[in-house]
Structure 1
């Protein structure tokens, strides 16, 4: 039976308290129904959970059972109070006890096991306020769990969905190429595993965000590679034709490098030419071998791209070798020009017939106009003639 309360309330006080309690009951019922109808709550009830989520959900289900049981006991007290109030001569003492005293019975068999005692044969009674506080604590505990699950799903599942969109697009591209794709198969298996983990244990999967991001990037990268393969398939004839022209440009550049080398070896003494480029035959073989890909467009993308890069590198190398070798001829010509300029200066200074200067000039000229030219000695000779002319100019 309900325990004793304080002095009986007035009828006005009873009506005010009862009205407030009924509003409170309706609000609590609405909140509990909202909790029960929460999308993540409904999903949790329908899933076979694992890991951390399974452990916490098992405890939450016990809490939910206790919550609904306590609400039912709380509601029965209020229903009883309404019946007493509706009587012709309402018992104010009983109403006061119901509304303010320990009127909610917690039966011994319904008390949570961790709060039971082997010495207690009867249940216990609590007030409506204590019942409300107990319901509030249980509600918050379950709502917190559902909110954490909801947050985890809302954070992780969109990342998987985005990766799935890239994988589906990649799969369509692979199918259009009629090619098996082990890499895409691996990404599919990884995505299936991660989605299962996130779905059944969202609370234990929060650390997977980095792996999920990596999956999304890998799926997008594979999609891009397959899209490139399709472009190569569509553009292959044109690219292969242009590539053949560039290979012939390499061959021509290498022939020019050899021509310049031969010229330098004749005209410049002790020239040490760099290693001559000879990549054109190999590049022609690689270009011809592209046709053996037999529709394996992903493989062809890599081979075609590598060959295009190799052709440009070979062309650049041949050009550098030619320029390096031609620079030796240019150095000789530059020394010839400098010698002629200082000879003209000697004439302007009135030393055209100077025997010493003529000897220096003749030695430098012989070196520069003799094939092969000794550039080192010629450079020294021109420098000596230059210093002599400069000295005369300074003295005058």
Structure 2
């Protein structure tokens, strides 16, 4: 399931699968006239793939009633307005190539006639909140052009459930977003919809706590791999839990570009444990056409899935939700203003603020993604420990604005340093919370 840029996974017509960094999203640059995506900033690009048996099933065909319910009531496809047409009666038709045409697939492949309008996937986690991958919606302008579509699944082999205008929501804002490389390596976003999706649709429950998933745990992915109607793959297993960092885990899910942002569920309890973000190459050449890339169950690199807890913690640090946070009130933030230039990535000429952290406390700092934060220009933030060593930093978490989260391993006095990228000038309000 490869990482791809924002509006193209389904329209690879004459174009090789985009190899952007990090996820399983899906599109190459869209056709002329549509907004162009920002480039992801994370690791090297990989794509999704089938491990062992291809376990993908259409929603109507899957034997597990709870997983069918998660697909029907909690799963969304991300599209743009050019991907569908709303008729005078409110019914929606989709404007997209078939899977076979979009990816030049051989005639012996599965789901060939499925349409491919989705560029990413997501999961409803509260009345008006959708969880997805950070590389799927990278900026306020990307949010504005994104539509969140429910009911994008088949009810029979040749029948797509009728989607209506009531099933389509707009992205009102990005509440929190992270797309980082290194350790931790995080790729998530929680977006706010233009209206509540409940009670017609039902939020999926989030896995409690922040423990690593044991190796061998069975997991299920639900989403629009390669942009097609929702498929349920309940045959994945955790291969590497990355218990030391708890940023993402690796599993053998059968996922594709367009699955980026898909909810990944534990097979016991059916709670959302992660967000599908990147993986192995989807399709490979076979003569003049292409076929699904097949790996042994123990082969290839596996698919990368961001743990859900960092996303929820980030949300609860800036907003309230009884369902997600246990309270409707966000934690209070502290702010300070700055104006800077020629700071060499916040290493000189910075505005500083000292903070005291106990071991285990988490500080979240930003010119975005924290209540009261704002900025103008290309901001850069750092956190240094008492010895003056940088322990956390960020440049472009939200477009050109900055956000990072750091959990102190030792108690002490730390320093927030507010500056700008390179020798640029910038200004803003830094906001931070400590929990």
| TM-score > 0.5, shorter chain as reference | no
TM-score (norm 1): 0.21
TM-score with structure 2 length normalisation?
0.19
Q: Which protein shows a greater Rg?
A: 1
Q: Please state which structure has a larger fraction of its residues in helix.
A: 1
